[in-house]
Amino acid sequence: MVPFDKIVTEDFMPAIQKGIEEAREEILAISSSIDPATFENTIERLEASGELLDRVSNVLFNLNSAETSDALQQVAQQASAVLTAFQNEINLNKDLFQRVNAVYQLPGILNEEQQMLLEKTYKSFVRSGAALNEKVQIRFKEITVALASLSLKFGENVLAETNRYELIIEREEDLSGLPEDLIARAKSLAVSKEAKAHWVFNLQAPSYIPFMENAENRNLRKRLYTAFMQKALTPGPYDNRKLVHELVKLRAELAELLGYKTYAAYVLEERMAVSPLSVSIFLEDLLIKSKNKAADEVNELNVFMKSCGADHELQRWDWSYYAEKLRKKKFDFDDELIKPYFKLENVVAGVFKTTEKLFGLTFKENDAIPVYHPDVKAFEVWEGDELKALLLADYFPRSGKRPGAWMTSYRDQKKRGTQRVIPHISIVCNFTPSSEGSPSLLKFDEVTTLFHEFGHALHGMLANTTYSSLSGTHVSWDFVELPSQILENWCYEEECLALFAKHYITNEPMPLIYIERLKASATFHEAYATLRQISFASLDLHLHNLSYQEAQSMDSIEQLEKTIFKPFNLFPEVPDTNMSVQFSHIFAGGYAAGYYSYKWAEVLDADAFELFQQNGIFDEETATSFKHHVLSQGGTQLPMKLYKAFRGSEPKVDALLKRAGLLVT
């Protein structure tokens, strides 16, 4: 495992330079070989090169997301430029590409996994500028280095803005409606910051979301919502508006250099969706099927709000508050009712038990494994008497951790001869922490988030491929969410909830009536949620489907975003707010031209879970088939081939529409 207890920030750049030296020698040995190029002496040796460099850079950038500092961010910026330049050195190495191309032209004598590695290696060179002339390659290098630096800076700005804002409350009456555990955490935060106020709330999800759902003080809800939507928008050192322009323009220029009309066309060529047109049709179809019902949901909430005595127009900062009230009225159910049954430790044990029943895994906590923060837990993952993986679990928000939840890898699974090299996997979340007198009790969407990220982790932990670049989550981006999203379905099943949903004081299981209400409320405001999700996907697609000329003349991001969002708007516009400048998924993550994949994967997961429902949610044969055809195979085969091998047919959108309550019969 990574020796976190021995690493200091100053170690990274020397280690990266050493890794580059070793990798450069390995690349030189391949490219200068006088032997005829073969799969073994070129493609496999290239795949195996740079192991130290990969290890060090994985640690650096994972820590920069989960436990960063000003010093580490500076190193990450420096390393990003150096690593991008070195990757360009490899991708634009004429002698190396000549050998790769020679192998690519050889008659097919490879097995399926070898053929996939060859094709991906060849395409990665071509898509990284290997076939460009030298003059164009110079500009290509400049763009890639700039993009790497700008993406890092974008994410750092969002994190800084998230950490910077505080809603300070001094009057107890302003806490009306808020849950006791949230108030206790806000009081603890005020004490830790030595604030003059009695309570401090912030933009971290465990503070922001329950505040918006429960605070009776409408003006405070408006202040917090506005602050959330102004992150990285106001003038100053963390303003992301110029970065958005630069990222969009540079991506469009890079695509044009490579012969593509748009960056989206470049990206989607290697996805299940294939083209921007197919994604556009997919999103338009969902818009047609969801917008009218979403409008009905908004109208229903507006009527309900008026019935509660409100004399104002329904605004965005009212949505969560009145939605929670309406959900409680319609289903006699809310998050506060069931939170006592979702103590974090119990939920973690539940996801462990779920994966044990499905895939035969057991988890053993090991305090001897080094971790990067005292909150992080380390586990050995066993399948029978075989050690399958190491797992780190990091649950709570910190100032050095970016918002959201994600799975990542410190080392991918691969094989050396007949030996399986085990993966080192990590899940990182920002869950509701404990407070004085109360343990960490999760909201239900935090429960589903844990199952979601654990689905990604299973994809990495159960990988069983020869090559690390085809292992685990190294699959088409619109296929990578299938393992994560399908696992969320178990959270709604009585047989699964019985494993862990127990009251944290009495240990009584969650009453069946609560489970029935939970399932009944599962489609509550699903049309609006769908509309919101596809609005973000449409924003992403539009920004990355601009030609280079269109990107150069792009309007202000504020005005452009308003135009893009217009078909989706069901609320009055909120001035001086913006989504794009905080859209880390597409500007600091890997989702550029790929945000649609969340809904795309929902089609896959709804269709796939139907088979589990038919056969039993813990049916051994079905789980083994999913493990064999999806979780263990990584990117060794085309996604649709893997899916059909499991399901027996291509996915049908009807399963998603039925689950979401959008299917018209």
pLDDT digits (tens, 9 = 90+) for 162-208: 999 999 999 999 999 999 989 999 998 898 877 666 899 999 999 99
Q: How far is CA 371 from the centre of its chain?
A: 22
- What is the number of other CB atoms lying within 10 angstroms of the CB of residue 168? 14
Give the whole-angstrom CA distance, residue 600 versus residue 631.
Answer: 18
What string of DSSP letters covers 432-457?
PPPBTTB--B--HHHHHHHHHHHHHH
Who's near 173: CB < 8 A, 6+ residues apart?
none
Q: Which amino acid, residue 434? A: S
Q: What's the token pair of residue 395? A: 């649950």
Closest CA to 86 of 57, 123, 120, 48: 57
Q: Which amino acid, residue 18? A: K
Q: What's the token pair of residue 384? A: 């029978």
**Domains assigned to the chain:** 9-131 (1.20.1050.40), 165-229 (no CATH)
Give the whole-angstrom CA distance, residue 239 versus residue 233.
Answer: 5
Task: Note if the pTM is more than 0.85.
Answer: yes
Closest CA to 618 of 495, 498, 518: 495
Taking the CA of residue 50 as centre, how many other CA atoms within 13 Å lie in the half-sphere pointing to its CB?
20
Q: What's the token pair of residue 365? A: 């906590």
Give the whole-angstrom CA distance, residue 148 versus residue 251.
Answer: 11
Q: Which amino acid, residue 142? A: E
What single DSSP character describes residue 175? G
Helix (H) or strand (E) segment spanning residue 414: strand 414-416
Q: Classify strands 419-421 and 386-394 as parallel, antiparallel or unpaired.
A: unpaired
- 67, 161, 453, 493: the catalytic one is 453
Question: 231 near 158, Cβ under 8 Å?
Answer: yes
Give the whole-angstrom CA distance, residue 549 versus residue 638.
Answer: 34
Question: 551 near 255, Cβ under 8 Å?
Answer: no
Give the whole-angstrom CA distance, residue 508 versus residue 338.
Answer: 12
| Residue ranges in the chain modelled with pLDDT below 70 | 195-197, 664-665
Give the whole-angstrom CA distance, residue 297 versus residue 653.
Answer: 22
Give the whole-angstrom CA distance, residue 464 versus residue 471.
Answer: 7
Q: Known catalytic residue: 453?
A: yes
* pLDDT score recorded for residue 665: 54
Instruction: Give the angle 239-227-407 at the CA atoms, nearest 5°.
Output: 75
Q: How far is CA 34 from the centre of its chain?
A: 44
